[in-house]
Amino acid sequence: MRKIENAIHQAVAAGVTLFDTADVYGLGLSERRLKRILGSSRHDLWISTKGGVCWKKDKTMKRARTWKDGSSRYLEKAVEASLRRLGLDVLPIYFLHWPDPETPLSRTFATLENLRQQGKILHIGFSNGTASQIKTALRYAKITFVQTRINFLEKIDGEIVKTCSESGIKVLAYNVLGAGLLTGKFTKDTRFPSTDRRSRLRSFTGKKIRNTDKKLKLHRQRADQMGVSLAQYAIRWALKQSFVTSVILGIKNCRQLRENLLLDTKTNVI
């Protein structure tokens, strides 16, 4: 915990101005910790959080049960809860975390627009939506940001890029490092603790890692030619995409922060 706290303080000192979280991260703990670590400086920074994923702790299970909920009733409560946990009067950026297949997007985004007009949300964002879903949402709300997966091994969704460009929506790229897979630091023998979500991802199984490692060979060579690490190469690649406003990077310590900030093309997001 101390390592993350020091890294966040160094990030602020280095000029990072936007911190991304979500209510479901740590089941509310991430927002509370961010409030405590940033202190009063949080009022001068851009804090992005997300809602639309419910959770319920179950004593019989090691992990909480989660499900999507984009209903008005849930989102109104979720926004109030995030405001309270973050200690803010208004949420700078509030994303729908995932579309809820049981709730029409018209209802979800009409609710978020109403909350924006009430002054509880400054900017509305849409995470993990398709181009068609973004277009639908735009009919009911003023959307300023979209979060989508961007990395050099996954095909870029041209329709999302086109929709955002035509609508003046800023794109925040996430999964730039493939949850760490594109750093090249993991092998088929790597084992993650049960508390690490990568222990549950297929992409981190032995066969998948071997296949990814083969694909990384050319990119390793390019990174070496540029004199940067593979992680820095991956971040730089994402930032060079003309439609990307910024990238979202997870950090665990100051060393990772320093490696990530060896880039001066655009402001990074933690």
Contact 186, 211 (CB under 8 A): no
Of 116, 179, 111, 107, residue with least CA distance to 136: 107
Show me where the domains of the chain are located.
2-178+229-260
CATH topology assigned to domain 2-178+229-260: TIM Barrel (3.20.20)
Position 63 scores a pLDDT of 78
Q: Which residues of 208-219 are buried (b: 16+ CB within 10 A; e: fewer)?
A: ebeebeeebeeb
Mean pLDDT (10-residue bins), the chain, 270 residues = 90 94 96 97 96 88 88 98 98 98 98 98 98 98 98 94 98 90 68 57 64 82 92 94 94 88 55
User: Residue 248 has what DSSP assignment?
Assistant: B
- The widest CA-to-CA distance across the chain, in whole angstroms, is 54
* Structural contact between residues 110 and 142, judged by C-beta atoms closer than 8 angstroms: no
| Residue 267, pLDDT score | 46
Per-residue b/e over 227-266, b at no fewer than 16 CB within 10 Å? ebbbbbbbbbbbbeeebbbbbbbebeebebbebbbebeee
Alpha carbon distances (Å) from 202 to 190, 205, 265:
13, 5, 33
Please name which of 200, 158, 157, 154 lies closest in space to residue 177, comparing C-alpha atoms: 154
Q: Which residues are 171's β-sheet partners?
A: 146, 244
pLDDT on residue 206? 62
Instruction: Tell me the three state secondary structure of residue 96.
Output: strand
